[in-house]
Amino acid sequence: MRRRGLVPLVVLACGCSSSSAPGAAGDSGVQDSSVDSSPGMDSGPTDAGGVDAKSADGEAPDASDGGCMRAGGDGGCIVVLATNQNAPAGLAVDSQYVYWTLGETDGGVFRVPIGGGSVTTIAAAQPEPASVAVSPTRVYWINAGNNALMSAPLDGGLAAPLDHTITTPQYLVIDATNAYVTTGGGSVIAYPLGGAAPTVVVASGQQQPGALAVDDTTVYWADTAGASSILSAPKAGLPEGGAPTVLATGENQPFSIALDDTHVYWTAVGSGSVRAVPKTGVADGGSPAVLATGVNTPAGVAVDGVNVYFTSDTGAGAVLRVPLAGGTPSTFAAGQGYANTIALDPRNVYWVDFSSTGAVFQAGK
C-alpha cells in the first residue's frame, strides 16, 4: 500500500451565496483522461448498469437491489469504471470520458467512457504522472518523475512536453488559455496551452504551494507549510512588490481545494475538517466556516450547487457529502478503501481508490 502523496484534484465551479456560510445555486465543471489496456494494467470495465463484483468490504452486492452496490441516500448504483489500478491519482471528467493517471515510475494517462466501457491508454511510459486536466482537444498532466508538464491529443497520440524544467511540479489546473502549476520551488506559474514559454509567474516565494484552482480572474492555492494558508492572486500576476491575498491562515495542512462562484472550499487534514471562506476573505477577526468536522483524514473535495463532496482515505474509506451551509456529513459511499481524488459533473460523482489494488468509480448523485 502506498502512503498518500501528491494526489491532484479536480476543481469545479458553481453558484453560491456570498454569506460567510456558503449557500446554494447552479453548477459548472472543470477538468480530467482514455485507455486500451497497458502492460501490467487490468482495465476490468464493468457494465454501466451496476457492479458485477464484491463490494469494497468483501460482501456480495445486495441481491434485492439487482446486484447493485448503491451510493448513500438516493444516489444511483456505484459503477466500477476500472479495477486493479496501482494507485490511481489525478482525476478529471469531460462530457464523455473520465480520465486518470497512475503515478508509477512507469505510469500512464488513461480514459474510460462515462458509465463504463473499454479503458484506453492516452500516454504510456510516463514517469510518475500526477495531476491531470482536460481541454476540448487535449489532455494535460504533470510528470513528477522528470519535472515535466505534458500534453497529448484526447484520443491518444504523440505526448509532448510544454516544459520539462519545472522545479518539482506539484499540481495542475487549466483554463481556456493557460495551464497553472504549483512548484516545489515555491512558485505558481502560468504556461500557455499552445506550448510557449511561461509568460506569467503568478506568485513566487511561497513556502510549499500545493493544490490550486482558478476562476475567470484569479488563481487560488493552498500553502501547506509555514502558516498553512489559503491564498489568491490575479491570473495576470502580482504587481512588483505585491503579495498574495491571504484568505485564511493557520489551516492545519490544507490538502484539496475547490471553488464555486463566491467561495473557496478545502479539506484540512490536520484538523479533520472541511472548511470554506468567501473569495474576498473573512472580515478582520473572522474565521472560515467549518462545514464538517471530525473527519478521518479528509482528502479530495468538490462542490456543486447543493453539496460539498469529499473523501476520507483511511480505514474503510468513504465518500461523504455535506450541504453548502454545513452540518452533519452523510455517507455517500462507504467501504471505499483509500478514497482520494474526487470529481463531479451535473449528474455524477467520480472518485478513485488510491491503493495498490485501486479502482476508479462513478455513482449518480
Residue 251's nearest CA partner among 282, 226, 229 is: 229
Express each pLDDT in 309-329 by its tens digit: 999 977 789 999 999 999 999
Q: SS3 for 289? A: strand
Domains, the chain, ordered by start:
13-364 (2.120.10.30)
Name the DSSP class of 63.
Answer: G
- Integer Cα distance of 152 and 158 in angstroms: 6
C-alpha cell recorded at residue 227: 502558516
Confidence of residue 67 (pLDDT cuts 50, 70, 90): low
pTM attached to this predicted model: 0.83
Q: Is 258 exposed, middle or buried (0-12, 13-18, 19+ CB in 10 A)?
A: buried
Place of cell 475567470: 216
Q: How many CA atoms lie within 13 A of 311 on its CB side?
A: 33
Which range of 1-10, 72-81, 97-106 scores highest in mean pLDDT? It is 97-106
Mean pLDDT of 213-236: 96
- Integer Cα distance of 218 and 26 in angstroms: 20
H or E segment and range at residue 302: strand 298-303
pLDDT score of 66: 47
Q: What percent of the chain has pLDDT over 90?
A: 72
Which range of 46-55, 75-84, 278-287 scores highest in mean pLDDT? It is 75-84
